Structure 1
C-alpha cells in the first residue's frame, strides 16, 4: 500500500493552550488552504493517472423483463414437454438445450418458430403483415419492429440499441438493432443453439408471419449480433454462420477435442 502524506500550513489559534494542543495533534486541512497542499506519493505519475471507465450502460432487468422471461420459458416448456429445476435464465438455457435433443436441425427450427408465434395473438400478426408491412415499401414496418425489439428483448439478449443499416438498394434505414454482447449466446455456449433456436427461426418468423425480411449476423468471437430488418438473408448454404467452428467455451467441443485431433470434429454438429 502506498503511503500518502498531506501537508498544510499551520493555522493561527487565539490562545497558547490551543497552540499547544495543535502541536500535539495532526495538521488540519481547510479548503481555503487547499492551494498550499502538497500531495506526496511513492509513485506520483501512477497516482495521478486517470482510471479507465467503461461508459457502456449496464442493463439491469426489471419487473417486465421477468414477466417476458417467464412467458417465453413457459411457451418453450410447452413445446419441449420438459422443464428444468433451475430458476430464471439458467433454467431457460437448459430448456433451450433440451429443445434440440432427438430433433433434426430443421425440426428444431420449426419448433422455435412455433414458440415465437405462440407469443402473439394470431390476428395481430396477420394485421401487421397486411396493413403495416406494405407501407413505404416495408420501411415503416422494419423501423417499427427494430424499435420494438430493442425495447422488449434486452432481457434475452442484453444491452442493445437501434442503429442504421445499409439496404441492398443503396438507401439507409434506422431499422437495425445492435446487440453488444448476446447473453443467450454467451450463456448457451453453443453455435448450434444460436443458429437453430434463435437466428434462423427468428428470421423465418419475421419474414413469414410479420412480412418483414430480417438478416441476423451473430459474431461468434465477441458475442455481438447485428439485426438488419428490411434485408433478406442469403440462402442457408451461403450463410457464413453455418461455417463457424464450435465456440472455445462449449463444453461439448472441449470433450470432442480430447477424443480426436480431426479438424472436422471442431465443427458444431448441430450447425
Structure 2
C-alpha cells in the first residue's frame, strides 16, 4: 500500500495524465519514440528513495543527531536533573555536560557518585522491563543472547550521547568470539566533558554496574583517553578496580583544570592521577582552581 508520502512523490514526479486518451491513439498506434518515458518515473522514484548508507566505522563520518535523538537527549537530561536537583541554563548537549559536572561534584565519594548515576540509568527504563529481562532473557545460553541484544540496542539507541558507533566481535572469558561488542569511534561525552573523572565516575563504572546488577549482563568498558574511542565488551566481566587500567590514567591534556593546576604547580591527587577519580579530594581541587567546567 502506498504511503501518503510516496503518493505525493508520485504526483510530483509523474507527468500529468489527461483524463481521456487522445483521439489519435485510437486511429494509429504510437511509435516507441512517441510512447515516451511512461514507466521511467517509477524507476527514478525507487532510486531517489534509496537510503543513504552511513560511512563505515573508522572513516571519520560524523553522526548527525535526528529529531528522535533530541528527544532522547532531553529525556536523559531530565532524569539527570531530577537526581541532581539542579539544571543548567545552557541548551542541548552543553547543558547536559554541566549537569554531569554537578552530579560529579555533588557526591561525597566516588561510590556515591556511581550510585547516583546508576539511579539515573534505572529511571530511563520501566522497572518491570528490567526485572523481566534479567529473569527471563539474561540466563539464556549463559548470557550470550542478552549480550547480543544489548549490544545492538546500545549501538542503535545511544549514538546521540556517544557519537558514531558500531557492533563488533569480542572475546568472551571462555575464549570464544561473539558479536556482542560496541565500538565508539570518538566518544562525544568524554570529548565534551574534557574530564577523565567524569568519564569514569558518571559513565564507565555506573554503566558496568547497571548492566550487571539490573539487567544481568556483564560489561567491561575500555575507554581510550588518547583518541577518545571506547570499546564496550558485553558478556565480559570487568576486572577488579585496582587492576583496571582506566583508573590509573593521568588527567587528559584537554582538561582545563589539570592545565591550570600544572601552571600553579598544584596537584591534589596521588601519582598525578585525575583528582576527580578521588572525590574526597575533588572539592579541595575545585576550591584551588575555579573553572567554568567545575561547578
Deviation of 1:69 after TM superposition, in Å, equals 0.3
Match of 1:6 in 2: none
SS in 2 for 1:217: strand
What do you get for the CA RMSD once the two structures are aligned?
1.4
Q: Does 1:109 align with 2:114?
A: yes
1:67-106 to 2 correspondences below 5 Å: 67-103=71-107, 104-106=109-111
SS in 2 for 1:162: strand
**RCO (CA 8 Å, sep 6+): is it higher in 1 or 2?**
2
1:252 to 253, 257, 281: 257
SS in 1 for 2:63: coil
SS in 1 for 2:105: coil
Q: Residues 269, 135 of structure 1: CA spacing in aligned structure 2 closer, same or farther, 3 A cutoff? A: same
Q: For residues 17-69 of structure 1, what are the alpha-carbon distances to aligned partners after superposition, in whole Å with 9 as ceiling and x for unaligned?
A: xxxxxxxxxxxxxxxxxxxxxxxxxxxxxxxxxxxxx8443211001100110
Q: TM-score, normalised by structure 2?
A: 0.72
1:33-182 to 2 correspondences below 5 Å: 55-103=59-107, 104-182=109-187
Deviation of 1:270 after TM superposition, in Å, equals 1.5
Match of 2:233 in 1: 228
Q: Is the 8 A contact 2:163 2:184 kept in 1?
A: yes
The structure having more radius of gyration, on CA atoms, is 1
Instruction: Report the count of equivalent residues.
Output: 218
Query: C-alpha separation between the residues in 1 aligned to 2:248 and 2:136?
Result: 38
Q: Residues 102, 59 of structure 1: CA spacing in aligned structure 2 closer, same or farther, 3 A cutoff? A: closer
Match of 2:273 in 1: 267
Deviation of 1:102 after TM superposition, in Å, equals 3.8
Structure 2: where are the runs of 5+ without partners?
1-57, 278-295
Query: C-alpha separation between the residues in 2 aligned to 1:259 and 1:125?
Result: 48
Q: For residues 190-243 of structure 1, what are the alpha-carbon distances to aligned partners after superposition, in whole Å with 9 as ceiling and x for unaligned?
A: 000000000000000000000000000000000000000000001111111110
Deviation of 1:266 after TM superposition, in Å, equals 3.4
Query: C-alpha separation between the residues in 1 aligned to 2:230 and 2:139?
Result: 27
1:181-192 to 2 correspondences below 5 Å: 181-192=186-197
Moved over 3 A (4+): 261-266
Query: C-alpha separation between the residues in 1 aligned to 2:59 and 2:164?
Result: 13
Deviation of 1:264 after TM superposition, in Å, equals 4.6
Q: For residues 122-174 of structure 1, what are the alpha-carbon distances to aligned partners after superposition, in whole Å with 9 as ceiling and x for unaligned?
A: 00000000110011111100000000000000000000000000111110000
Q: TM-score, normalised by structure 1?
A: 0.78
Structure 1: where are the runs of 5+ without partners?
1-53
Match of 1:194 in 2: 199
